[in-house]
Chain A
Amino acid sequence: MKELLAARDSVNRWMERYGVRFGVYKNGVFNEQIFPFDAIPRQIPAKEWEMLEKGLIQRVKALNMFLYDIYHEKKIVADGVIPKEFTYESKGYMPECEGITPALNVYAHIAGIDLVQAKDGKWLILEDNLRIPSGASYPMIARKVTRKACPQTFRDNLIADNRNYGMLLKQMMDDVNGGRGINCILTPGRYNSAFFEHSYLAEKTDAILAFPGDLIVEDNKLYYVGLYQEKIRVGAIYRRVSDEYMDPLAFEPSSLLGVPNLMEAYKAGNVGVINAFGNGVADDKGIYYFVPKMVKYYLNEEPILENAPTYLPFFKEDYEYILNNIEKLVIKDVAEAGGYGVMFGRDMTPERLEEVKQLIIKEPRRWIAQEVIDFIDLDIIDETGNPSPRKCDLRAFVITGKETKVWKSGLTRFSRNPNSFVVNSSQGGGFKDTWVMEKD
């Protein structure tokens, strides 16, 4: 570990050379920032990881079963486990997806599950990201660079090798593809906040990096148009563009990022779309509350991983609790992501608290409230070169093709300021490598 800290400067130089960046829009201006890397890794003991792995696989299986159910028989709604309001009123629910069965019945091929570890050691799920979760490339490249800077650290410690993420993705893409054509990663372009990642993952999975305009649907099949206008059949597309922009004839008519009639080719089973369309209904912050119930309902198992304590103002009991305890809760807008629309009761003035209460009274379905979890601090090396504690979370990547597997690593993010609980990269935090240990 000492060597690793000593090699900090050369690690950071390498990272800069690789261009590990994150794009941020602020007040309409696009800025590309270096995503700050901290050299002290998070270590997860083998036993703990084993439990996490089981819990994550269980959760993602249930979420995929929920997505299938919601776009087909809707048994979970009929059986009263989830109220209708939380599915059909969700912004992520897409009636266009009704009745479509994706290859292998899988919707969330890449799930980014955010967890925190409470001070008592217990891991809690904060949110499920089932649309286009980003962030895997950062720990991939950090590991590559730290291995280069201090090979010894990785010889002396029993750290699970995480260089297989590209292979995990490729295997999944091949499973979804089923031999129909090439694999392709669609990026909205270089002004997307995760463009670095799109190009890096294309390289690691041996897929073609496609830009809007490179893809075309002809006679209900998807093609990549090459340099010489040759058309190459695409069997699976890992798209890093949101659902609503993917097909101007099915969704947002003004989109120029999408491929006209892609939805039809997908519906006909002529191309696999990774992740599937319509997943937003399952990673809605309101649906999150019901995920442990889904585990019981679909798998008939007890959930291994718990949610952070959450209240829905939709339910009368919770509604009263929230209004009476708002000053100690976190209030989240179900429609927002990336750390936007998150409000801490304790930071608000009495007038603001009253305003938020009124918002909740007006639209109870739009909000959830959570207890503030006192999650653990991990040390980082701050600007002065000294260890300093920061709140950290973990995004675990769960890949589902024919099988569901958890990548033995993850993205550990830390908050920019010592007293902040918000760790989203779009809010200016940094990241660490995540070591899954082979032994306790």
Chain B
Amino acid sequence: MTGEQRRYQFRYMTEASFTPAVSSHFFKLRAIPCLNSCQRVESRQLSVLPSGCILNESTDGLGNLLQFGEYHSPHDYFRMTSEGIVCCEKYRVIDASPNDIYLFPSKLTRCDLPAQEWAQEVTKQGADTIGKATLLMHAIQQRLTYQRYATNNATSAMEVFERGLGVCQDYAHLMTALCRSMGIRARYVNGLVLGEGETHAWVEVHDGAAWLGFDPTYDKIIDWGYIKIAHGRDVSDCPSNRGQFFARTNIEEQLTIICEMKEL
């Protein structure tokens, strides 16, 4: 990294509480900022509670850092805390040989003909990849209304396109799907953003040399203030937290997520 740099401190915590207690709990997390040409991790720490959880680390098929493990004794909560300091340059992830899988639809990012035609129509003034992606992002901002609880983790880009409602994940899925339908490499990203209390999702579009960040929820080309954690074809490739536990009865589960990020 050689250009202007900004440093951010972050803390990302999720806690699940269970009533009654559960046992044999297995989990897989993607919660640590990734390393790339515009993002360096100065320090990081991931801790899980209850203490005594077995924790291992690996990388998934798409290059994201993973932490996984298990806890066998009965427990009524599970807490993951990821914290540290990240040093960023202006958002631009250099990648001379991007993976072709980001050219093709995945389960949640299929695209039908009407949507494809709509995307062609709204981007016809675009001179190049980035021009088109920018026009598409503006059009998505016009088309969608931000609304919580209207969608879930399994909502596809086409449902979002038709119903016009959703949250950051849905905005990102739709933009990813439409870019790919026009032959533009695009991928789904999750991470943290300055000034938000929860995790965020956005899009990366490849311009031939690097991945540029687009945030369709805020209709903004990303420059500063975003910490990237993981990427994939859609959210199901890179969920931040997945778990399975065993219990003898129905479990009531409560989830709390806290994200804090500030510029140093």
Contacts and interface: CB of A to CB of B under 8 A. Distances in A.
Interface of A: 71, 74, 77, 84-85, 88-89, 93-100, 216-220, 248-250, 253, 260-261, 264, 267-268
29 contacts: A71-B61, A84-B100, A84-B103, A84-B104, A85-B104, A88-B104, A94-B61, A95-B233, A95-B237, A96-B60, A97-B61, A98-B62, A99-B59, A216-B24, A217-B26, A217-B70, A218-B54, A219-B56, A220-B56, A249-B68, A249-B244, A250-B28, A260-B26, A260-B244, A261-B26, A261-B28, A261-B69, A264-B28, A264-B58
B242 interface: yes
A255 to B, nearest CB: 9
B94 to A, nearest CB: 20
A37 to B, nearest CB: 42
Interface of B: 24, 26-28, 54, 56, 58-62, 66, 68-70, 100-101, 103-105, 232-233, 237, 242-244
A88 B58 contact: no
Contacts of B243: 249
Nearest to B66: A264
Contacts of B61: 71, 94-100
Contacts of B69: 261
A248 B244 contact: yes
B79 to A, nearest CB: 18
Given A84-B104, A217-B70, A249-B68, A267 B242 contact: no
B70 A261 contact: yes
Nearest to B28: A249
Among the interface residues B28, B61, B101, which one has the most CB atoms of the partner chain A within 10 A? Answer: B61
Q: Can you list the 8 inter-chain pairs with the closest CB atoms, starting with the nearest?
A: A98-B61, A260-B26, A249-B28, A88-B101, A96-B61, A88-B104, A95-B61, A89-B104
B27 A249 contact: yes
B104 A253 contact: no
A253 B60 CA distance: 16
Contacts of A268: 58
Contacts of B58: 264, 267-268
Contact of B62 (A88, A95, A264): A95
Nearest to A96: B61
A77 B61 CA distance: 18
Given A95-B61, A267-B58, 18 more contacts: A74-B100, A88-B100, A88-B103, A89-B104, A95-B62, A95-B101, A95-B232, A95-B237, A98-B61, A98-B62, A217-B26, A217-B70, A219-B54, A219-B56, A250-B28, A260-B26, A261-B68, A264-B58
